[in-house]
């Protein structure tokens, strides 16, 4: 059995849900509702005041007229009756008094010569002594002391009552030394007039509400149209269309806002153009410098190769005193050559000229070839099933794997484990995880491991790497439509995860022609 308070809680929850569903998410709706509420409040207030004033005026006018006529009739008819009138005399006087223009019923009470109460009633069915409130009878029959300000011992009193949902005005007065008279006047016509007035005011309120809603709609359209244009312009600006401008008209606040938007967009376009030109100049400078360095580096590399052969020769033709210097020159030349190649690769990515040369390869064979080419077979544990064919750029995959595995061997610790798996879905995904057994990556370094030229230790700005390897690996993953993430394993060590789509990545970066090599050292 459901308890009443359970029903109440259920109703409150339903009401709360309905109100939550009616949250104002539109500025237009909020404006219309606010306009409507203001108009409704004003209309209801005005209608209420008008109804109250008219009601008091109508009732007061009817009441004053009826009481004035009744008092006049009491003076003209009841005051001339003998002190102890008969039943017939009272009845005749009551009938004459009721024949007034106000059409009220009259009740006269007096005592005859024998001390018995006699009654004169103009309407026996509608008005009897029981219809007069007890408080009114006591007030009418109460004798007042005579003073300079009070010349009459008895006063006129009145009271509004309701019988059978019909309003009445009951008045009473007593003639000094004569009968007591009461009048009963129906206020039903006035009540009908007031009801008609209430309906009229209600209709006027409804029309005012509808008019305010239409006015609010028009005002909202006028106000929100510039706001909508501003929103569209801001969205276009956010999409990179920096030449977006607003048409300005008027001198109001919205026009000033449009001018401010145009000025901001103009300044932004100018700054972006300046930054773009500087960035383009920087990329062009790096590319030109890298190309210019390749020619002398080619000659220097050839010389260092000869020197390295002399160092490795059994004849010992190199002076032992200069052997460390020669080995340093050889090492730094290789490092410089790697840096130039990496810079050229970075400029291709920045310029958007990097292209994929796609081929269908066995991923296990590709990873094995990458490890074998760098003599890492003893330090790397490979977990890959043969026969998994993927359509990708083998050279760029080799760059990614070489950087991830080399980074794990250099900064982590053996054994380095490379695991390959595929994930079904839409689209499918190839996942290659490279995990080391070192101390892991510090939490403050994790967000920056793929930044260009980033070195985890500020005290060691010079190292064997250029700080570009991981960033180039990430760019190569992006050009395949993939991603690389770095994290620390719960069991210790760092984990780099490469994710590549299994579907054909051939798109705007794909090419059937081989491109100039770079970044694969």
Q: In terms of domains, do 150 and 281 share one?
A: no
Pairing mode, if any, of strands 380-383 and 416-423?
A: parallel
Of 302-311, 390-399, 406-415, 454-463, minimum mean pLDDT range: 454-463
- Give the pLDDT score at 420: 92
Range name among 61-65, 269-273, 334-338, 356-360 with the lowest pLDDT average: 334-338
User: What angle do helix axes 27-73 and 188-238 make, rounded to 10 degrees?
Assistant: 170
Residues 370 and 446 both lie in one domain: yes
pLDDT of residue 23: 47
328 lies in the same domain as 361: no
Q: Is the pTM of this model over 0.75?
A: no
Q: Please give the Cα distance from 242 to 261 (Å, whole number).
A: 11
Percent of the chain with pLDDT over 70: 84
User: Of 146, 162, 194, at which residue does a domain stop?
Assistant: 194
Confidence of residue 152 (pLDDT cuts 50, 70, 90): confident
- Of the candidates 23, 494, 138, 137, which has an alpha carbon nearest to the alpha carbon of residue 485? 494
Q: What is the CATH number of the domain that holds 400?
A: 3.30.565.10
Q: Is residue 147 part of a domain?
A: yes
Q: State the CB neighbour count (10 A cutoff) for residue 246.
A: 20
Query: Residue 11 falls within a domain, yes or no?
Result: no
490 located within any domain: yes
Q: Clarify whether residues 326 and 183 are in a common domain.
A: no
pLDDT of residue 70: 87
Query: Residue 206 domain-assigned?
Result: no
Contact 518, 346 (CB under 8 A): no
pLDDT at 2: 47
For residues 377 and 422, membership in a common domain is answered with: yes
**Residue 327 forms part of a structural domain:** yes
Domain of residue 295 covers 253-335
Is the pLDDT at 454 greater than 50? The verdict is yes
* Burial profile 484-505: b = 16 or more Cβ within 10 angstroms, e = fewer: bebeeeeeebbbbbbbbbbeeb
Kindly state whether residues 178 and 44 are assigned to the same domain: yes
44 vs 17: which has the higher pLDDT: 44
- 504 with 370, same domain: the answer is yes
519 lies in some domain: no
Instruction: Give the pLDDT band (50/70/90) at residue 365.
Output: very high
Does any domain span residue 164?
Answer: yes
Are residue 83 and residue 168 in the same domain, yes or no?
A: yes
Report the 10 Å Cβ neighbour count for 439: 13
Which of the pair, 345 or 65, is modelled with greater confidence?
65
* Whether 408 and 323 share a structural domain: no
| pLDDT value of position 460 | 40
Please state, in angstroms and as integers, the Cα–Cα distance from residue 444 to each residue in 178, 433, 448, 497, following that order: 111, 22, 8, 19
pLDDT at 488: 92
Where a domain ends, among 148, 173, 194? Answer: 194
Residue 484 has pLDDT above 90, yes or no: yes
Look at residue 369 and tell me if it is in a domain. Answer: yes
- Residue 183 φ/ψ, nearest 5 degrees: -125, 150
**Residues 209-226: tens digit of each pLDDT:** 788 778 777 777 777 777
Per-residue pLDDT at 22? 43
- pLDDT at residue 145 is higher than 60: yes
68 and 184 inside one domain:
yes
In this model, does residue 29 exceed pLDDT 50?
yes
User: So what's the pLDDT on residue 6?
Assistant: 53
Stronger pLDDT, 68 or 510, i.e. the higher one: 68
Q: CA distances (Å), 232 to each of 244, 258, 265, 459, 464, in order? A: 10, 12, 13, 50, 51
pLDDT over 50 at 327, yes or no: yes
Strand residue runs (E) in 319-453: 356-357, 359-362, 380-383, 389-392, 416-423, 429-435
CA distances from 475 to 335, 340, 471, 484, 518 (A): 21, 17, 6, 9, 13
Domain tally for the chain?
Answer: 3
pLDDT tens, position by position, 157-177: 989 888 888 888 899 998 888
Of 153, 179, 194, the residue at which a domain comes to its end is 194
Q: Is the dihedral of CA 329, 332, 334, 340 positive or negative?
A: negative
pLDDT at 353 over 90: no
Residue 86's pLDDT is: 87
Q: What is the CATH number of the domain that holds 43?
A: 3.30.450.20
Angle formed at CA 222 by CA 219 and CA 226, multiple of 5 degrees = 140
328 with 364, same domain: the answer is no
Q: Are residues 270 and 362 in the same domain?
A: no
**Confidence band for 316, pLDDT divided at 50, 70 and 90:** low
């Amino acid at each position: 059995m459901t308890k009443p308070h359970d029903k109440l809680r259920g109703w409150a929850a339903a009401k709360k849900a309905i109100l939550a569903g009616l949250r104002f998410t539109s500025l237009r709706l909020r404006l219309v509702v606010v306009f409507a509420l203001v108009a409704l409040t004003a209309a209801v207030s005005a209608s209420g005041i008008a109804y109250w004033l008219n009601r008091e005026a109508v009732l007061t006018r009817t009441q004053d007229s009826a009481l004035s006529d009744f008092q006049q009739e009491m003076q003209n008819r009841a005051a001339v009756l003998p002190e102890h009138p008969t039943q017939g005399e009272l009845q005749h006087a009551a009938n004459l008094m009721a024949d007034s223009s106000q059409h009220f019923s009259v009740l006269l009470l007096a005592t005859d010569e024998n001390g018995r109460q006699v009654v004169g009633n103009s309407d026996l069915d509608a008005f009897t002594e029981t219809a007069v409130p007890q408080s009114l009878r006591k007030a009418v029959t109460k004798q007042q002391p005579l003073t300079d300000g009070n010349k009459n011992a008895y006063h006129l009193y009145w009271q509004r009552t309701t019988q059978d949902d019909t309003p009445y005005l009951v008045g009473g007065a007593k003639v000094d030394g004569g009968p007591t008279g009461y009048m009963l006047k129906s206020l039903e016509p006035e009540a009908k007039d007031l009801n008609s007035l209430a309906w009229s005011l209600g209709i006027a309120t409804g029309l005012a509400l509808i008019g305010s809603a239409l006015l609010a709609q028009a005002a909202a359209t006028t106000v929100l149209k510039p706001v909508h244009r501003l929103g569209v312009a801001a969205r276009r600006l956010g999409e990179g269309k920096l030449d977006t401008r607003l048409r300005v008209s008027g001198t109001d606040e919205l026009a000033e806002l449009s001018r401010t938007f145009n000025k901001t967009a103009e300044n932004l376009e100018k700054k972006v153009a300046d930054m773009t030109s500087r960035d383009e100049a920087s990329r062009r400078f790096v590319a030109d410098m890298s190309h210019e360095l390749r020619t002398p580096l080619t000659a220097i590399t050839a010389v260092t190769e000869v020197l390295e052969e002399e160092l490795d020769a059994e004849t010992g033709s190199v002076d032992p005193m200069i052997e460390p210097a020669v080995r340093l020159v050889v090492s730094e030349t290789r490092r410089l050559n790697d840096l130039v190649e990496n810079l050229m690769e970075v400029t291709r990515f920045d310029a958007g000229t990097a292209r994929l040369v796609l081929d269908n390869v066995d991923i296990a064979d590709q990873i094995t070839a990458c490890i074998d080419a760098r003599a890492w077979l003893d330090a790397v544990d490979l977990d890959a099933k043969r026969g998994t064919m993927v359509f990708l750029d083998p050279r760029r995959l080799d760059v990614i794997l070489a950087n991830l595995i080399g980074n794990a061997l250099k900064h982590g610790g053996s054994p380095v484990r490379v695991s390959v798996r595929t994930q079904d879905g839409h689209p499918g995904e190839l996942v290659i995880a490279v995990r080391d057994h070192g101390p892991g990556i510090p939490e403050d370094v994790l967000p920056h491991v793929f930044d260009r030229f980033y070195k985890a230790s500020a005290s060691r700005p010079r190292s064997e790497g250029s700080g570009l390897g991981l960033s180039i690996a990430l760019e190569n993953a992006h050009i395949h439509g993939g991603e690389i993430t770095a994290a620390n394993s719960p069991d210790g060590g760092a984990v780099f995860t490469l994710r590549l789509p299994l579907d054909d990545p051939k798109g705007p970066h794909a090419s059937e022609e081989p491109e100039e090599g770079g970044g694969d050292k």
